Each structure stands twice: as structure tokens, then as C-alpha cells.
Structure 1
Amino acid sequence: MKAYLGFLLIPLALLLAFAWTYFLPFESAKLPLPTVKTLKVPVSPDAVSPVMRREPAHVDLRALMPYDVEPAPRAVAGKAKSPFLVSAILVDGERRVVQIGSEMYEQGDTLADYKVDRIEPMRVLLVSHRKGGERLWLHMSKGF
């Protein structure tokens, strides 16, 4: 317990130093309090002058463009994306299950106009009933 007495002297010394400077009879030793200047407030809101409102500047952006600007290249149309999103494929021995959207399907189940024909570890084959046997491969999505 005696080892902590030295550490007790530090806050006691700080308290004495604060009391010594705060209660000194000398005015020069006390810290001055901040003073607040008075503000001239108008008597009524009508006395406030209206602020001039500035309208936004209208700039023609074509005037800022350089003369040798070429039009942006157009995108080449590719294959249409599938409306189905494969988020999980489970292959466990003979059982194969795929999660498309939020629903689970096995081989032979129907999905809209398609039948789940084959489930592989990274892709699923859907075959259409009505569209002349159109084959649609769905690949596992890269992430969420």
C-alpha cells in the first residue's frame, strides 16, 4: 500500500495548484473570462433588407466541347442474358440439385418453359418444351 502513496501525491499536488491560482487575492493571477460583445439586432423582421438572389448561370455545354470529338463507339449486340440466375449447385453422388433464383430444382423438374435436363458441377442445361428444343446453358454465377 505504501508504494501507491507516491501516486496519490500527484493528484493532490494538482488540486493544490489549481486552488492556489483560483483563490489568489491578486487579479492578475486569475484567468480572464471571455466577454461577449453585444449584437445589433433589428427591431422587427421588416427592417431586414432583402437579400439579392442570384439566378444560376446557364451554359451551353456544346460550347465547352473540343471540335475534334468523335462519337462514342456503339456496343456490339451479343447474346441476350438469361433471366435465370444460378446461385448454388449441389452434387452428392447420384443426387444433383441446383438453386435458380430462390427455388431448388432437380433433374427432370420444369422451370417456366424449360426442363432441367442436366446438372453439372459448374453449369446447368435447360431444354425448352415449346421452342423447338432450344438448349440453354446456365453457368454458376461469379458472386453475389
Structure 2
Amino acid sequence: MPPTQPSSDRLKEILSRIFDSQILNHGDYNLVFAAASGQQGQVPGASSTGKYYVVGYRWRPQELVIAPFDGTTLTASGTPVEINMTNLSHAVVLAGGDYEVGTSTGRIFRFAVQPQGQLPLEGHVIDQDDDEVDFSQFMASFIAAA
């Protein structure tokens, strides 16, 4: 009998735990799953060195927190980066709807947030239709403020 795939809600819980374990005031943020630009649609189960992020965002004060995680083990894989109006160098929408945000220290992130986020493991899909709409509105405001 094939193993059961985790539900979208279960995957969201896992990603929330990854974020919550690293961010002090984690309850202040809305969360979305993001893949580095070019990672969406990778062949499930393929060897992946791609970058995946739990992106926390809040409207007041406007801020992003980008928390990298390993898409195959679903564990934290780097130090989260806070991006707000004090350290933001730029924020733009790229062709195709991906985003690029950079910090004054030179860190640059290019990522996509899709309504159906595909992790690199077969059957691991996060349904974030409503979240993607809200995040798009947030990014429009964030970019305008930049």
C-alpha cells in the first residue's frame, strides 16, 4: 500500500513550526510557502538543491521574514532574514510575477508564491489560494513603500 501524502493543512502546520521555532514574535506574521525563482514545477522526487522559504509578512509595521527550509526534510536550513523599511534596498515584481527583494547588506531573494505550492516531494502540495492573494496585495504595498 503506498504511503499517504500529508494534507495541505498538515504541510502548513509543519512550515508554521519551522517559522515559529526561529522567530521570536511569530504570531504577528501571516505565512506563505515560497520557492526560489525557477524552483516551482521541479520534477517531484528529483534531487533538489533548490531553495524553499517560509515567508512571514505583516502589514504593520511592514516587514518580511524569509526563513529558508529544506524542501525534502521539511526542516529549517538557514538563518531567517528580516526585511523592513530600515534595511530594504529594493523590492520589485519580476516578469512572470515572481518577486525580488534585497537588503542594504547585499542579500537578494528571488522567489515565487503560487496558489498551489509544490514541494520537491511527490504529492506534497500546499493549497494557498487565499494566502497568495493577500500576499500579492501586501507585496504591492511593500513595493510601493520602497
Higher helix share: 2
Calculate the TM-score normalised by the size of structure 1. Answer: 0.25
Calculate the TM-score normalised by the size of structure 2. Answer: 0.25
